[in-house]
Amino acid sequence: MQLISGTRLGRYEIRSKIGEGGMGEVYRARDEKLNRDVAVKVLPAALSENADRLRRFEQEAQAAGALNHPNILVVYDVGTHESAPYVVSELLEGETLRELINDSPLSSRKAIDYATQIAHGLAAAHEKGIVHRDLKPDNVFITRNDRVKILDFGVAKLVQPAGEEVAQTDIATRKVHTDPGTVLGTAGYMSPEQVRGRPYQSGNPTSQLTWFDRTGKQLGTVGEPDNYVHVALSPDQGHAAVEMLDADGRNGDVWLFDLARGISSRLTFDPQWDFGPQWSSDGTRILFSSNRSGSGAVNLYEKLASGAGDDQLLLESGSAKFVLSWSRNGQFALYENYDYSISRMKVGLWFVPLSGDRQPKPYLQSNSFDQIEGQFSPDGRWVAYASNESGRYEIYLQSFPASSTKTQISTSGGFWPEWRADGKELFYISADKKLMAVNIKVSNVVEGSVPTVLFPMNAKASNGYSYAVAADGQRFLINRLVEGNNPALITVVLNWTSDLKRQR
C-alpha cells in the first residue's frame, strides 16, 4: 500500500516515505494528539493477504511492544488502515550500522561502545524471553547522539525466560509463529542452530562421550567432558570423529579419538567452523563441512584421517551444505542443502558424485516441506531420512536413486536415523528423546517392524549426530549431557585503557 502525504491513519498524518524492508514500508508521520513526529510501518497491501507474513508482522509489534529499553526501538501503537495493519514507533534520526560502516571502519572505541549497547538491549529482550534471530548491521540503528537502537523483531522467537520454571499447563495459549524446521532470517548472521532450523540450548553445556548398551546401562566413557557436538564411529570401531567447540563456543573443529588408548588429536585447524565429520568406508579419510570461505556459504572438504596434507575442497557453491553420509562404496556424499536465495527455505537432500565431474544433484527436494538427516544404507540402495511432510518429523526410507514410493518407519515422530552395519536394523531418536529400534526387511520393497523403545537419551541437543551405533548394534556412543553443569561466566572489562595509563 503506497501512502501519500496527508493520508490519515487514525490520529497519525503521513508526511513522507522514509524506507522499506521485507516486513513493510516505513513513513514519517505526525501524531496529532501528542504533537510529535513518529514512524509508521505499514504492511504492503499485496502482503497483507499473506497469512504468514501478517502473523509475522503482528509478532514484530507484540515482541517490540513487550520491551522497554533505551537500546530497543520503542513501539507506541498498532492499528489497521483499509485492512492493512500498521505499527507506530519512535522516529529515529541517524543511520543504520550498515550505512555507517560502509563509509569507513569504526574506531575501536566506537565498536566497543556500540557492541556494549547492543548487548544491553539483547539482554533486556532475553530477560523477557524474546530472541531476535535476525540481528545484523541493517537492523542496528545509530542515532545522531550515538545511541544504539535495535530494530525489526519480525522473526523474533518467544522462549521461556531464563530461570523461570513454568509448568506446561501454565503456559499461555499463544502460538509463536516461527515454524520448527523453517529457516527465517539472514543466512550470514544466523547461529548454526538457526540455519538448520533446530532448537537451541543457552550457553555451551558440557557433554561426555559415553558408551551404553541396548538397555541403557552405562558401559564407560571416552575422553574428558567437553563441548562436543557431533560423533561418528570409524568403520573398524577403533576411532571416533567428533566436532568439538572452541573454549568460547564460537567455532568448532574436527577431532579424532583413539578409543583403545583414550587419547584425542585435532584434525582441522581453520579458525572458522568445521563440522559434521563423516568417515570413508576404509577409514582413511574424513569428509566435513566448513564455513571457512567467509561468504556465508558452507562447503564440503576432505582430509586424510592421519592428519597428513592439507584440507581439500570437494564442493563449493553459494548454498549451505551439511554433509550427512558417505556411501560405503565411496561413490557418493549425501548432504542437506540450504538455498539462501529463497526467503523461506525448504531443506532438501542432495548428493555429489565423488569421481568424474562432481556435479551436485538433488535427491529429495520439495517446495512444501523439509527432507533432512539422510543416511545411506550399508548396501547403498536406500536412504533413511526425516521429513515433516505430514506436519511433524517422521523417519522414512526411500530407494537410491529416488523412486515414486517411500516407506514410513517411525510412528510418533523421529529424527536422526542411523543404520546397523548389516542394514537389518535402523535406529532413530523419537520426538520425546528416546532411542528407538526398527527391524528392516528388504526384498523388492522395504518393510519395517513396529518401533521398539530402547532407552531414554540424555543427549546434548546439537546440530549433528548425538549418537553413533556400534557395528553389531549392541552398543551406542552417546554425546551425553553432563547434568548440573553451568556455562562459564564471561567477564567484560570496561574502561581498561585507563588502567593501562595508571600502570605506566
8 A C-beta contact, residue 59 and residue 154: yes
Q: Ranked by mean pLDDT, which of 55-59, 61-65, 346-350 comes out on top?
A: 346-350
Residue 370 and residue 357 in contact, taking contact as beta carbons nearer than 8 Å? no
Q: What grid cell was written down for 340?
A: 539462501
- How does residue 195 score in pLDDT terms, banded at 50, 70 and 90? low
d(CA 403, CA 397): 11
pLDDT at 404: 81
For residue 124, what pLDDT is reported? 83
**Fold assignment, 95-171:** Transferase(Phosphotransferase); domain 1 (1.10.510)
Q: What are the boundaries of each domain within the chain?
A: 8-90, 95-171, 207-481
Q: How large is the average pLDDT for residues 419-429?
A: 96
The whole-angstrom separation of Cα 448 and Cα 377 is 14
* Protein fold of 8-90: Phosphorylase Kinase; domain 1 (3.30.200)
Least confident among 131-135, 188-192, 433-437: 188-192
Mean pLDDT for the stretch of residues 49-72: 70
Q: The whole model's pTM is what?
A: 0.64
pLDDT at 424: 96
Tens-digit pLDDT profile for residues 297-331: 889 999 999 999 999 999 998 888 999 999 999 99
Give the model's confidence band at 139: pLDDT under 50 very low, under 70 low, under 90 confident, else very high.
confident
pLDDT at 37 over 50: yes
DSSP conformational letter for 368: S
Q: What is the pLDDT confidence band of residue 378, given thresholds at 50, 70 and 90?
A: very high
Q: What is the mean pLDDT of residues 353-359?
A: 90
Q: Lowest-pLDDT range, 57-61, 182-186, 344-348, 414-418?
A: 182-186
Q: Which residue has the cell 521398539?
A: 452
Closest by CA to 71, choosing from 149, 18, 174, is: 149
In contact, 451 and 411? CB cutoff 8 Å: yes
CATH of domain 207-481: 2.120.10.30
Beta-ladder partners of 307? none
Give the pLDDT band of residue 14 (cuts 50, 70, 90). Answer: very high
Residue 140 has pLDDT above 60, yes or no: yes
- Residue 296 φ/ψ region, left for φ over 0, alpha for ψ in the -120 to 50 degree band, beta for the rest: left
The pLDDT of residue 339 is: 72
Confidence of residue 488 (pLDDT cuts 50, 70, 90): very low
pLDDT at residue 262 in the model:
83
Confidence of residue 250 (pLDDT cuts 50, 70, 90): low
pLDDT band at 47 (very low <50, low <70, confident <90, very high): low
Distances in Å between the Cα of 378 and the Cα atoms of 105, 150, 395 are: 53, 50, 17
Q: What is the mean pLDDT of the chain?
A: 82
Please choose, from the candidates 244, 249, 294, the residue with its C-alpha nearest in 3D space to the C-alpha of residue 268: 244
Q: What is the pLDDT of residue 411?
A: 93
Select, from the ranges 66-80, 146-160, 308-322, 330-344, the one with the highest average predicted confidence (pLDDT).
308-322
**pLDDT for position 396:** 96
Residue 141 has a pLDDT of: 92
Task: Strand 228-233: give its sheet, edge to edge.
Answer: 228-233, 239-245, 252-258, 263-266
HSE-CB of 426 using CA atoms within 13 angstroms: 33
Contact status, residue 454 vs residue 439, Cβ threshold 8 Å: no
**Dist CA 465 CA 471 (whole Å):** 16
Question: What per-residue confidence (pLDDT) applies to 175?
Answer: 31
Cα separation, 179 vs 127, whole angstroms: 22
Conformational region of residue 71, where left means phi above 0, alpha means psi within -120 to 50, and beta covers everything else: alpha
- Positive or negative, the CA dihedral 265, 297, 194, 332 is negative
pLDDT score, position 197: 53
Percent of the chain with pLDDT over 70: 77
